[in-house]
Chains A and B, each alone.
Chain A
Amino acid sequence: MSKSTILILLSISMLILAILDVLSGSVSVPFAEFQLWVSGGETSDVFNFIVVQSRIPKALTAILCGAALSLAGLLMQTLFRNPLAGPYLLGISSGAGLGVALLVMGAGFMGFVVATGAAINVAAIIGALVMMFILLAVSFKLKDVMTLLIFGVMMGSIATAIIGLIQFFTSDFQLKSFIIWTLGSLSAVSYVELFILFASLVLSVAYALYNYKGLNAVLVSEDFAKMLGINVLHVRLSIVLITGVLSGLTTAFCGPIGFVGIIIPHLSRLLLKSNDHLLLIPTCILLGANVLLLSDLISHIPTNGKSLPINSITSILGIPIILWILFGKKNISQSF
């Protein structure tokens, strides 16, 4: 299969999965009414509420988050030349989590309840951004990218430890609302938030594609890239910046969503049989969107009106794939 066929097929399957995702759920929507809406016709209020206000944003969230997490994961794996690296490696999501924990449980201490999604999102974004700027400041100074890795992991652990302390001293009610946030959810992301995510994703993809040669060379080694005239510090900073923004925003809007960011880059490499970033970046984005849409579809399966937490779905779906790759004939380290 040629590389462009792969990209076209992934785009088509993304479209099909998105339509299925919009049509399925506790209330079934007839395809005819969906067609009517697409062609601009008059639709019922129920349709408007369920599909336009809830399911379409949810499908768009799945597409954007899947794409953003996969791109962030790919860039982290390239920067650290490590197959286990993922978007949350540098503790950016832990920073977001700390922001949320401070807000949800801190407010509880002062006797009022924070329940609005917008406030939580803002807290998460602030937490992620603070963490990202600390990392950026440090990566200016460091000679060695491995020191950045250790520093990031440590910062993440510190944030997690502080979250643990806050959890220990907090009330049951606040604790539960924090735990629900950590389970992740693709719903309740507003169109404004979707636009912010979309705009950051487009800028990040454009920038990553513009730098694809630097990424290819850095994957060999930093000295190798330097001797080809590539500004390695520039590549490193842009990777931290893109990963920070994308994983920070997705964590803020949907909570931490596991597995996607680590495994999609590997699947893309196996699928393409290449590690050229010019092809890997679009493949990763499309494959990530596909997988998160599929996970969302699966989360609709229970018919009692509730859907399963997305984070559990991605992990349960992902672990067999990882095992299949690890124990199968395909060798991750050689596709790297």
Chain B
Amino acid sequence: MDPFWKEKHKSIILSSTILNIDNISVAYSKRINILSQVSLSLESNQIVALIGENGAGKSTLLKSICGLTAISEGSIKLFGRDFKEWKSTSLAQKIAYVSSSENVQSIITVERFIGFGRYPYNSWLISQTEDDFDCIEGALKSCKIEYLRNKTMAQLSDGERQKVYLARAIAQNSDLIVLDEPTTHLDVKSSISMFRLIQAQKESGRAVLFSSHQIEKALSIADKVWVVDCGRVIETTPKDFYENEQLKELIFGA
């Protein structure tokens, strides 16, 4: 990883609040709200687990945080500036997103795919500066997938592919990584190593926001938990979550 990462982002790390979600609603049509009046905040160096039933609005929340889904009310501020004021390339330097529907099965090699993470940093032909090379190498190393570098995306197993997606997001060198269900389709061993990789991101000063259905493992690495239920989001900590009977019932059933 870029050794000067913290130096470069010192001012930002000091300011500490990455994301400020103020009273947002997302609507399908005028009548049906997927999310209503959600207010949340996210600080740097934090790992946030997003949990909730299928269809509760987890993916919608993640997408609106990334600016992929329009919000009908409220505002989202990134480092104190409203989303609409951000240029798309500078936004891409702050947030990296891995969608749950991402399924890349093509002849692109792993190394080149991770190189996508450098797109927001370089213009046109200057695609491999030394900095980019270091970032791609660092991402491969931190996910322990150097041995995959010359394989094509079509040759990977589901577990390997998820690690490559994460490595791509790491190479983007953003302050926040948003992962939508990074452990679906993964076996026990792979999902444990995925959670470890997520946890390791704290060391480089990044925040990670991820959704998962593997509640216990997700909560074991999280600093904060966002519980989504019927378009509302309750913010809590793993400890408080286990002490709250109502929340536990919501997630695990009666």
Contact = CB atoms under 8 A, between A and B. Distances in A.
A177 interface: no
Interface stretch (B85-93, B210-218, B226-234): B85-93
B99 A223 contact: yes
Contacts of A275: 106-108
A230 interface: yes
Interface string A257-293: 0000000000001000111100000000000000000
B96 interface: yes
A229 B107 contact: no
Interface string B57-100: 00000000011100000000000000000011111110111010
Interface residues of B, number: 31
Contact of A217 (B66, B99, B119): B119
A306 interface: no
Contacts of B95: 227
Given A223-B68, A276-B112, A334-B154, A229 B92 contact: yes
A192 interface: no
A160 B104 CA distance: 36
Contacts of B112: 276
A334 B105 CA distance: 7
Interface of chain B, main secondary structure:
loop
B242 interface: no
A226 interface: yes
Given A210-B124, A213-B119, A221-B102, A227 B108 contact: no
Contacts of A269: 107
B153 to A, nearest CB: 9
B116 interface: yes
Residue picked from B91, B96, B107, B154, most chain A C-beta under 10 Å: B107
A213 B106 CA distance: 16
Interface size class of A (residues with CB under 8 A): 20 to 34
Interface string B112-153: 100011011000100100000000000000000000000010
B88 A231 contact: yes
Contacts of B90: 229
B120 A228 contact: yes
B99 A221 contact: yes
Given A217-B119, A226-B88, A228-B116, A274 B107 contact: yes
Contacts of B101: 221
Given A223-B99, A224-B102, A216 B116 contact: yes
A275 B104 CA distance: 12
B106 A227 contact: no
Contacts of B106: 219, 275, 334-336
B88 A217 contact: no
Contacts of A219: 106
Contact of B92 (A210, A227, A333): A227
A92 to B, nearest CB: 27
8 contacts: A217-B119, A223-B99, A226-B88, A228-B92, A229-B92, A275-B107, A276-B108, A336-B106
- Nearest 7 pairs of A and B residues by beta carbon: A229-B92, A229-B89, A229-B120, A228-B119, A229-B88, A227-B97, A334-B154
Given A213-B127, A224-B116, A226-B68, 9 more contacts: A221-B99, A224-B102, A227-B66, A227-B96, A228-B119, A228-B120, A229-B91, A269-B107, A335-B106
